[in-house]
Amino acid sequence: MGAPLAGVTPIMAVTFFGFSLGKKLQQNHPNEQLRPHQVFSAGMLAGVFGAVIVIPAERIKCLLQAQANSSVKRFAGPIDCAQQLYREQGIQSFVPWHCTYSVKRYPGYWNVLHELRVDENRGFTPEGQSVNNLGAERILLAGGVAGMCNWVVAIPMDVLKSRFQTANADQYRGALDVLREVLKNEGPRGLYKGFTAAMLRAFPANAACFLGFEVSMTFLNWLIPDSS
């Protein structure tokens, strides 16, 4: 638990920052509503920002989780794991292909959330009201649904990423090599291992995340009013 607990706060902070920056770069004025392809682009930028921290945190987490089921204990903990990886392979040991995974994963996540929160016809914002007036139950539901939709798309890539990160240095040449092995030995169903666990986690984790974000923004807007 050490690596994800240490990384989750900065990961979410830089991801939300990247998404907000991506939106602002495409807006002519602060209240302009973005189109789906613009939200998608902002989500890609969020993925780039998040990947900077997600990459090493995921690498360490996966190795320690795999070690838990092994009789050989190579790492004493997350700090020892990071030190050993850096000594053996340098910074490249933390960057298999997770950056691509993050950039592809986040856009759909933000698109779904944006549609659920903002669109008055399909979303959760009552007609004539602002997104800022959403109640806690609507924020929880929007965040939870967005998280589940995100993982439906992301699970195959996450399975390949985790296997690649926990494999021996010379076991795979790249992501396509991992994909070929999974399809050969387990078929397409092998890409969805852990689906139930991911879905059970996705709703409460993302619902809590977005409720925390909205509560934090409400508090900060009260504490530091926008003078403009």
pLDDT of residue 119: 45
**Please, is 191 exposed, middle or buried when counting C-beta atoms within 10 Å of its C-beta (0-12, 13-18, 19+)?**
middle
Class of domain 2-223: mainly alpha
pLDDT of residue 121: 42
pLDDT of residue 185: 94
pLDDT of residue 11: 84
- For every one of its 228 residues, what pLDDT tens digit does the chain have, with 9 covering 90 and above? 666 677 788 888 888 898 889 989 999 887 788 888 888 888 888 888 888 787 788 788 888 888 887 778 889 888 898 898 888 877 665 555 454 555 555 655 666 666 655 444 445 555 655 556 667 888 888 888 888 888 888 888 888 888 887 887 778 877 788 899 999 999 999 999 889 998 999 899 889 988 888 889 889 988 988 755
Alpha-carbon distance of 131 to 63, in angstroms, equals 41
Q: Phi and psi (nearest 5°) for 8?
A: -65, -40
Q: CA dihedral defined by 38, 40, 42, 47, rounded to 10 degrees?
A: -170
In the numeric block, the tokens 């030995």 are attached to 185
| 164 touches 175 (CB < 8 A) | yes
| 203 touches 144 (CB < 8 A) | yes
Query: Using CA of residue 181, residue 184, residue 190, residue 191, what is the dihedral sign?
Result: positive
Longest dimension (CA), the chain: 61
Q: Is the pTM for the entire model greater than 0.75?
A: no
pLDDT of residue 4: 67
pLDDT of residue 24: 92
